[in-house]
């Protein structure tokens, strides 16, 4: 049937096209769903173009998440990380949109970080966190930023240098723990236990902070630690940590756990906030300033406690910075200086199999110190005039 002009005006037509009418070649309007194709579409010979009718028909149920899921996602908001806070402040200063940002803004911020002469590893970490924080489907293209980074890497060799933390070996660690305990404060008891555990565990800060009471089993003169995963291992591990007279891991950790048990805390994070009143943070006394870490300490908090007790004990470094990483580095240094092999260090610190870190950072420097050929050269003492 032919259609008059006035009928076309009144009709509601959506996605229609003109086709030949079978009756006599007169053009007619027929609804046709638009094809759903893009540059990733691949069709086999004989297949027709896919349209919206071929896809699933979604309802509101398919779009909503539950209140429980929403709460968990809000607690792990990637837009509130340190790098994202700095990125949003920079965008506000330069009149740019931070979320979702354009590829141009993303690339320009990368150049801003390079202008600050940051380490390559730091820039890569910041840019990865920023890109991850963008909404799904709206992440900026990182190809231009990577071109800038490659050029930065070639022209700034010092930006590749990894600055190692000062190794907090036993001559430094023991005075720190004793000073913390001598304070007579609950936070000192916690910190002494945390340092003893970190040294013997050769733990990364986040691993120490993630430790839970349920992960610990006391054995004869030692501790069995269940580790669900770590930076280099996806599978669970059961680690035996034997105690030492100088570390006093078992007594110090027992003292702290007993202190928490007296307040009814027998599960959850081992190392948690201590309030001014001496009460340990729990679900009932959750801090108003708590972050997505909840009751778990942040790695930065452990870092601050290490610096605090290092200074309080009157200790000084050789110029390298003090951080929580120094506790792990101190244990590795003590092992290397006392003859531990690459493989033994690799296992103790749970480095990735074949990692160069134990060999190049700890074992070789210790061997060079022990085998310095210049010790054979007599010390020159000029004769008095």
- What mean pLDDT comes out for the span 278-283? 84
For position 129, what pLDDT does the model report? 92
Q: Evaluate if residue 10 carries a pLDDT over 70.
A: no
Distance between CA atoms of residues 109 and 245, nearest Å: 51
HSE value, Cβ hemisphere, 13 Å, CA-based, for 184:
0
For position 44, what pLDDT does the model report? 92
Please write the tens of the pLDDT for every residue from 169-211.
Answer: 999 999 999 999 999 999 999 999 999 999 999 888 888 888 9
- What mean pLDDT comes out for the span 335-358? 84
For position 4, what pLDDT does the model report? 46
**Which has more confidence, 183 or 165?**
183
Nearest alpha carbon to residue 367 among 343, 344, 333, 329: 333
Q: Evaluate if residue 341 carries a pLDDT over 70.
A: yes
For position 289, what pLDDT does the model report? 45
Tokens 């509130």 found at: 80
Distance between CA atoms of residues 267 and 214, nearest Å: 6
Does the predicted TM-score (pTM) go above 0.85? no
- What mean pLDDT comes out for the span 91-101? 95
Q: Which two tokens stand for residue 49?
A: 């173009």
Q: How confident is the model at residue 239 (pLDDT cuts 50, 70, 90)?
A: confident
For position 52, what pLDDT does the model report? 73
- Domain range 76-160, CATH class: mainly alpha
Q: How confident is the model at residue 11 (pLDDT cuts 50, 70, 90)?
A: very low
Q: Evaluate if residue 168 carries a pLDDT over 50.
A: yes
Distance between CA atoms of residues 215 and 64, nearest Å: 36
The fraction of the chain above a pLDDT of 90, given in percent, is 40
For position 286, what pLDDT does the model report? 56
Contact 302, 310 (CB under 8 A): no
For position 230, what pLDDT does the model report? 65
Contact 179, 232 (CB under 8 A): no
Q: Evaluate if residue 159 carries a pLDDT over 70.
A: no
DSSP states of 124-176:
HHHHHHHHHHSPTT-PPP-HHHHHHHHHHHHH-GGGGPPPPPPP--HHHHHHH
Q: Where are the domains of the chain?
A: 5-43, 76-160, 170-287+294-368
Which of 136-150, 233-247, 357-371 is least confident? 357-371
Q: Evaluate if residue 161 carries a pLDDT over 80.
A: no
**Which fold does the domain 170-287+294-368 belong to in CATH?**
hpI Integrase; Chain A (1.10.443)
Q: How confident is the model at residue 20 (pLDDT cuts 50, 70, 90)?
A: very low
For position 374, what pLDDT does the model report? 82
Q: Evaluate if residue 115 carries a pLDDT over 60.
A: yes
Nearest alpha carbon to residue 321 among 167, 158, 170: 167
């Amino acid at each position: 049937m032919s259609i008059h002009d006035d009928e076309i005006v009144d009709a509601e037509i959506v996605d229609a096209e003109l086709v030949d009418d079978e009756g006599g070649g007169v053009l007619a309007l027929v609804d046709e769903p638009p094809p759903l194709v893009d540059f990733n579409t691949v069709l086999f010979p004989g297949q027709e173009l896919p349209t919206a009718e071929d896809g699933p028909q979604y309802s509101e149920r398919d779009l909503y998440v539950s209140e429980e899921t929403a709460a968990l996602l809000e607690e792990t908001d990637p837009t509130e990380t340190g790098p994202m806070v700095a990125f949003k402040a920079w965008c506000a200063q330069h009149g740019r949109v931070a979320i979702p940002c354009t590829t141009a803004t993303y690339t320009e911020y990368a150049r801003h970080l390079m202008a600050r002469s940051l380490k390559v590893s730091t820039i890569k970490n910041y840019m990865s966190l920023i890109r991850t924080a963008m909404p799904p489907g709206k992440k900026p293209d990182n190809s231009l930023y990577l071109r800038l980074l490659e050029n930065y890497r070639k022209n700034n060799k010092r930006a590749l240098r990894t600055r190692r933390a000062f190794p907090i070996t036993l001559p430094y660690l023991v005075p720190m723990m004793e000073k913390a305990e001598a304070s007579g404060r609950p936070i000192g008891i916690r910190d002494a236990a945390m340092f003893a555990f970190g040294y013997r565990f050769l733990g990364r800060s986040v691993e120490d902070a993630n430790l839970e009471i349920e992960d610990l089993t006391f054995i004869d003169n030692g501790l069995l630690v269940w580790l669900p995963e770590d930076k280099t291992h996806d599978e669970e591990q059961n680690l035996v940590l034997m105690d030492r007279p100088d570390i006093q891991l078992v007594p110090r950790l027992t003292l702290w756990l007993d202190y928490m048990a007296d307040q009814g805390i027998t599960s959850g994070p081992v190392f948690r906030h201590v309030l001014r009143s001496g009460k340990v943070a729990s679900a009932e006394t959750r801090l108003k300033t708590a972050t997505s870490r909840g009751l778990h300490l942040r790695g930065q908090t452990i870092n601050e406690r290490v610096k605090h007790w290092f200074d309080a004990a009157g200790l000084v470094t050789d110029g390298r910075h003090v951080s929580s990483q120094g506790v792990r580095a101190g244990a590795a240094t003590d092992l290397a200086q006392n003859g531990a092999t690459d493989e033994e260090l690799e296992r103790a610190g749970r480095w990735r199999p074949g990692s160069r870190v134990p060999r190049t950072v700890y074992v070789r420097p210790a061997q060079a110190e022990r085998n310095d050929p210049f010790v054979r050269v007599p010390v020159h003492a000029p004769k008095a005039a």
